[in-house]
Amino acid sequence: MKAFEFFEHTADIGVRAYGKTREELFINAARALYEVQGRFDLADRRILKAELAANSIDELLVRWLSELVYRLSTDGVCFKHFRLQFTGDQKLVAQMEGGAVDFAHSEVSEEVKAITYHQLSVKQTADGWMATVIFDV
């Protein structure tokens, strides 16, 4: 199973992410988010925890990816390893391991500034789960 693929959007970048489970789906969407932005070397090691809740699973995906956008935008932190656990249909506990990006030794491609609700969907398929989301760059 493919982890994710990008699709055409005039002004921004569309992503289709896949996973056998909801957890894998969310992790693959996070990997797509970082891949769009470049290749990041880390200057230190940090472990952070986040508890997120939303009104639906697709809104939860936006909350999750927005959390990662916020951490990179504010503290310059990127995560490489994730442990996710759904504690309800629309609740998530995430443990993220990564560190502060060493921008001098990283290859920055572009910056994702927001996760949009446009054409947003999270669906169960015969193989597992699929999400469609558009990143504002």
Partner 1 sequence: MHPLTKITDVLWELPQSYKAGMRVPGRIYATEQMLSRIVGDNCLEQVANVACLPGIQSYSLAMPDIHWGYGFPIGGVAATAPDEGGVISPGGVGYDINCGVRLMRTNLTQEEVAPKIHDLVSQLFRDIPCGLGEKSDLRLGRDDERKVLSQGAHWAVAHGFGAPEDVDFIEENGCMAEAESSNITERALERGAGQVGSLGSGNHFLEVQVTDEIYDETAANTMGLFLGGITVMIHCGSRGFGYQVCDDYLRVLGRAPEKYGFHLPDRQLASAPINSPEGQEYLAAMRCAANYAFANRQVLGSKAERAFLHALRISPDALGMQLVYDVPHNIAKFEEHVVNGRSRRVCVHRKGATRSFPPHHPLVPPRYCAIGQPVLVPGDMGRYSFVLVGRPQAMLQTFGTVCHGAGRLMSRSQAKRELSFDQLRRDMEQRGVVMMARGRGTAVEEASAAYKDVAEVVNVVDNAGLAVKVCRLRPIGVVKG
DSSP state at residue 101: B
Report the nearest approach of partner 1 to the CB of residue 82 (Å): 21
Report the nearest approach of partner 1 to the CB of residue 54 (Å): 9
Task: Choose one: 17-25, 43-51, 91-99, 115-123; the region binding partner 1 (CB under 8 A).
Answer: 115-123
Task: Choose one: 9-17, 21-29, 43-51, 86-94; the region binding partner 1 (CB under 8 A).
Answer: 9-17
Is residue 53 a contact residue for partner 1 (CB under 8 A)? no
CB-based burial of residue 81 (10 Å sphere; 0-12 exposed, 13-18 middle, 19+ buried)? exposed
Enumerate residues 61-100 that contact partner 1 by CB under 8 A: 66, 70, 72-74, 76
For residue 9 the two structure tokens come to 């959007």
Rounded Cα distance, 114 and 135, in Å: 6
Collapse the DSSP code of 114 into the 3-class scheme (helix H, G, I; strand E, B; otherwise coil) and give the result: strand
Phi (first) and psi of residue 28, to 5 degrees = -65, -35
Q: Residue 58: CA atoms inside 13 Å, Cβ hemisphere, count?
A: 15
Given the rule CB under 8 A, which residues bind partner 1?
6-13, 37-38, 59, 66, 70, 72-74, 76, 101, 103, 106-111, 113-118, 120, 134, 136-137
